Each structure stands twice: as structure tokens, then as C-alpha cells.
Structure 1
Amino acid sequence: MPAATRSPARRTLGDRLFLTALIGLPLLALLLFVLLPALASVALSFTTWDGIDLAGIDWTGVENYTQILTNYPPFWPAVAHNVLWLLFTALLPTPFGVFLAYQLDKKIRFTRFYQTAIFLPMVLSLAVVGFIWEIIYDPDTGLLDSVLAAAGTGAHPDWLGDPDLNLWAVLVASAWRHTGYIMILYLAGLKSFDPALKEAAALDGANGRQTFFRVVLPALKPVNVIIVVVTVMESLRAFDIVYVLGGGTGSKPGMELLSLLITDNIIGESGHIGYGSALAVLLLLVSLAAIGAFLAQTFRRQDT
């Protein structure tokens, strides 16, 4: 006789409610706090509004975008600073984090201590990191100027007040945190890497550098994609640490960023909701274009 088939268990009302809450609440939060504000920003970018009187919303078409691209002086310096932020992050802290991960994966002594010490800044929020480095850069009692004074270097620069230095000072502070993040991401990928591939490369006469670039790096392609996406997004949405070190909205000369311009126009004293929304839409389009192009190219190569 054929074995009796067991009918699938019927879900109780409590199970249905639990699944509905488990799936529905995150979707509702995504709709309320991400999708609807994004659509509202797109709509408001074609208007002028002071953010107070709903009756004062006036449709202006693409005027906000035209003024931003032609007659809005802080825009192009902010774009240049965001590009500089991206290049700095991609060329220094990101490769350094990968290098540290590769070295710590070699089972050296005290590797757990090194991992914890390097990753510790990542546990802190960017605002707290900004407060720490504000103390370090303080021109009167800061650690950096105290070390320079002890070394007898003479006059000390105003790290956060000099327009030629303040952005670089913020980039160093951001790199301190970003390096640990990249190290942990890549170290997680290395833990899943097959050590037999390294042994085979060593038997073929490959040194450490050749093994990394020709064996390890291609094998960890999914991790590389994540790191590139994280680096681009961190550079485009940089805000907290600049907000703290720059003294809040109305950033200091030399510290202009797109995220600060958006904040200044939407919730700052200017009250130009239309301008701020248009800037936010431009930043969203740039982010989507950069990430989308990279992912499309990566997956196209993977399919071929």
C-alpha cells in the first residue's frame, strides 16, 4: 500500500498575524520613511515653498534645477569636494583596510586585539567620531598641536578654520573610521576563502603579492563589489562628521558638500525647500547612476 501522504499543516490565526506583522511592518516603515519622502522630494523639487504654509507652494517647473546648475555658487564646489572625498576614500583608507585584513588573516600574534582596536571606531557613530577629532584638532588644547609643540615645529595651522586644510582634516577623521569597516568586511570574506588555493599558488612559485592579486582578489569578487558600493555610498552621503567639525549647517568655506547644502536649504534658515529637494534629487540620481553602472558592469562580466 502506498504510504499515506501527510497534509500540510494549516496555519493558525496567530501564525498569519505574526507573518503579516513580520513582513508588513518593515514594508510599511520603508513606504513611510523612504519611498514617500523620496517621491515628495521629487515633487517639491519643481516648486518653491518656505516649508510652513501649504498654500504657498508654487509650481516653477525646472527653474530650481536651472538655478542650481547655473546660478547657485556653492553647488559646483560641493560637487568637487564630494568627488575629492570619493577619490581619497577609494585610494587610501579602502586599500589600507584590505591590506590590514589580508595581514591579520595570517594568524599573527594578538590578531584579535588588533582587529578590535582597528574596528573600534566603527562602533562609534560618525557624530561621536567628529567630536573626538574636534578635540584632537583643537588649536589650544588639542592633542595634535600639543604633539607638534613638543616637537618644536613652531606655528601650528588652524586645522578646521583654514579653508585649504579643513576638508583634509575631516577626510583623515573619516578615514580613521572607514578603514576598520573595510577591514572587517574583507576579513569576513577571507575567512570563507579556500586556503588550498593559496597553497597551490605557493607551489607554483607565486609570492605573497602575486597570490593576492591573481588568486585571492579575483576569488573574492562579491566582497569587492560590496566594498566598492559601500565606499561610493559613504562618500556621497558624507554628512555627520562634517556637520560636527564644520560647526553645523552653513558649513565653513572649504567644507561644502552636497549633503550640507541639502540640509541648509531644507531645514536651515534659508527655508528653500524647492532648492533643497532639487539638490536631493540630483544626489539621488548620481548615486543611482554610479552604483547601477558599476553593478551592471560587474554582473555582465560574471555572466560572460
Structure 2
Amino acid sequence: MADIALQPRIAKPQIREATRWDLIKTNRNWLGFWFMMPAMGFLIFFLAYPLGLGIWISFTDAKIGRPGQFIGVENYQWLWDDSIFWLSVFNTLLYTFIASAIKFAIGLYLALLLNENMPFKAMLRALVLIPFIVPTVLSALAFWWIFDSQFSIISWSLKHMGLITQNINFLGDTTWARICVIFANIWRGVPFVAITLLAGLQTVQPSLYEAATLDGASRWELFRYITYPLLTPIIAVVMTFSVLFTFTDFQLIWAMTRGGPVNATHLMATLSYQRAIIAGQLGEGAAISSAMIPFLLAAIMVSWFGLQRRKWQQGENND
């Protein structure tokens, strides 16, 4: 007993509470969360806050240099009876639908063409990207000169060929103006669609085509039953971005037509800028911008439903 009493007592190890740093070192979810914080802060500061502020301003009578007071839905009631606003909605939907559909058709054709084995394929891919690389304003100015009522190269060529007797007023006629801005948007947007779909085609296994060819499938059947189903998720994403970029287009329209003639090419984005910045009616301009949100959400939902096709591709059950 004496020997036991003389032995030194062994101190029990103290259990330290886990700190946040310990959680980061051992928990991947915490580590991922902290890595996401800078991007989250960037999105909140540069996207969420301006969006929320714009929606709030749309419920006020704010003007440039004056904060304004809360007036409820008065700006939206005013827009409901504004014929120019509804014309801009029609122009935006028409512009987006036609341009996006043609960009998809041409972009898909170019992607399928560039996916084939052909000489100078790398150079052709680089050339396809040129319209997308050129700044939008420079492209708009170039098209503005091409479609100019006096110095148009198109009118000059047609006159020398004897097909017309006077210059075509491309940007002064409502129908021609719409056609011209849609053409310019298609020229700029096709490379984005083509290169993105081409990247998707690179992921399709050649063995699928070989097996289908041995079974006697034609080129159309290869596209319908192999290429298109496997590209569906990518098509959903690329067309969503294409629709969003087209729907919110501002630079191309403003540099070419400023919304004219007679508001024939005014989109919701250009009308919002005209009312808010040029006319100084910030509340009304913010209301026009906020009215674009339901259309953009609809485009995002289409992409979301398209992405659900991944479950089918991966063989997951949809029970």
C-alpha cells in the first residue's frame, strides 16, 4: 500500500473541443464551404444586391439625382398601358425566338461538320470563333456601315448588278431594321453554339456509331438515335445561355439602331436604358428591367428540365 501511495499519479488526458480549423481539416463539407465563400461573396455583391436594389427602385419614383419615395406598383401600372413597352416585349420575343432558332440550326450544322475528318480542321475551328471574339461594339459598327442607307456595300453591289435602281434603306425601314439586327446577332452568336456543341460531340464514343452502322443505320438515324439524345443536356445548357444573351442584348441594338426606326427594334433592355438613363426615370426603367425576370426564369426552367435527361443517360431509375 505504501508503494502504491508513493507512485506518482498519472494525469488523465484532457479532451479538447474541436475547433473550426479541426473541422476544416477533417470534414470535406466544411472545406468545400470555405472554398465557396469567395465566389458566394462575389455573386452576392455583384449580382444579388444589384438585382434586389433594382427591384426595390422599380417600386419607387426615383429619378437621377433624387432617391424617390415608395409608390407601390404605380410604375408597373403605367407600363401596362404603355404601347411602346408592349412593342418592346414583342420585339424582344421575336428577336430572341428567331435569332436563337437560327443560331441553333447553323451552330449544330457547323458542329457536325467540324467534327468530321477534313483537311485544315483546326484552322476552320479557329476561323469560326472570329465573330465571337470581335468586340460587340465593333461588330455593330461594322454592320452599321454595311447596312447604311447611303454607303451600304450591299446596295452598291445590287445597283451595279442592275437588280435595284436606288439604295435600300435597311435601318430606316421597320421590317428591314428588324431583319438586320437579327442577322447581326446570328453572326455573333453562331460560334458560341457551334463550339460548345462541338465539345459535346467529342464526348460521344465512336463505338456507338460503329455498332449502329453495322446494324444498317443511316446518317439520319445515327443523328436521331445517338447524337441528338446524348447531346440533349448540352443543347439545353447552350440554348439557355444563348436565349439569355439574346434576350438581354443591348450593345448590338443600341450601336446599330438606338431602338429605331419608330421603336421597331427597341428591346426591353434598350427601352429600360432609354427611360432610366437618358430620360432620368430610374423607377420606370427599373420596372422594365424587372419585367424581364419572369422570361429569364422560364428560360432557366427549360434548361433545368433538359438537364434531367442526364439521369436517363446514366441509367438511373426515375421511380
Fold-level similarity (TM above 0.5): yes
Of 100, 104, 108, which residue of structure 2 is paired with 1:90? 100
Does the C-alpha gap of structure 1 residues 44 and 250 become closer, same or farther in structure 2, counting only changes over 3 Å? farther
Unaligned stretches of 5+ residues in structure 1: 1-7, 12-18
Instruction: Answer yes or no: is 1:104 the counterpart of 2:114.
Output: yes
* TM-score between both structures, scaled by the size of structure 2: 0.82
Partner of 1:38: 51
What is the CA–CA distance in structure 2 between the aligned matches of 1:300 and 1:114, rounded to whole Å?
32
On the 8 A contact 2:236/2:302 being kept in 1, the answer is no
- Structure 2 residue identity aligned to 1:140: Q
Matches within 5 A, 1:1-304: 24-54=37-67, 57-69=68-80, 71-154=81-164, 155-247=166-258, 253-268=263-278, 270-296=279-305, 298-299=307-308, 302=311, 303=318
Find the aligned partners of 1:76 and 1:96 in 2 and give their Cα distance.
Answer: 30
- Distance of 1:150 and 1:206 partners within structure 2: 50
Question: Could you tell me whether the CA contact under 8 Å between 2:185 and 2:246 is conserved in 1?
Answer: no
Deviation at 1:22, TM superposition (A): 7.1
Offset from partner CA, 1:259-286 (integer Å, 9 cap, x none): 0111112211x21111111111110222
Any gaps of 5 or more consecutive residues in structure 2? 1-20, 25-31, 312-317
Change (3 A) 1:236 1:281: same
**How many residue pairs are counted as aligned between the two chains?**
286
| Distance in structure 2 (CA, Å) of the matches to 1:58 and 1:230 | 36
**Cα deviation per residue 1:42-77 (whole Å; 9 max; x = unaligned)?**
1111110112123xx1221111111111x2121111
Equivalent pair of 2:63/2:280 in contact (CA under 8 Å): yes
Once residues 240 and 61 of structure 2 are traced to their aligned partners in structure 1, the CA distance between those partners, rounded to angstroms, is 34
Of 207-216 and 83-92, more deviation after overlay is shown by 83-92
Give the aligned CA root-mean-square deviation in angstroms: 2.6
Amino acid at match of 2:298: A
Structure 2 distance, partners of 1:108, 1:205, is 24
Aligned sequence identity (%) = 23
Amino acid paired to 1:163: T
Distance 1:20 1:61 in 2: 38
Asked which structure has the greater CA Rg, the reply is: 2
Tell me if structure 2 keeps the 8 A contact 1:94–1:178: no
Contact 1:44 1:273 in 2 (8 A): yes
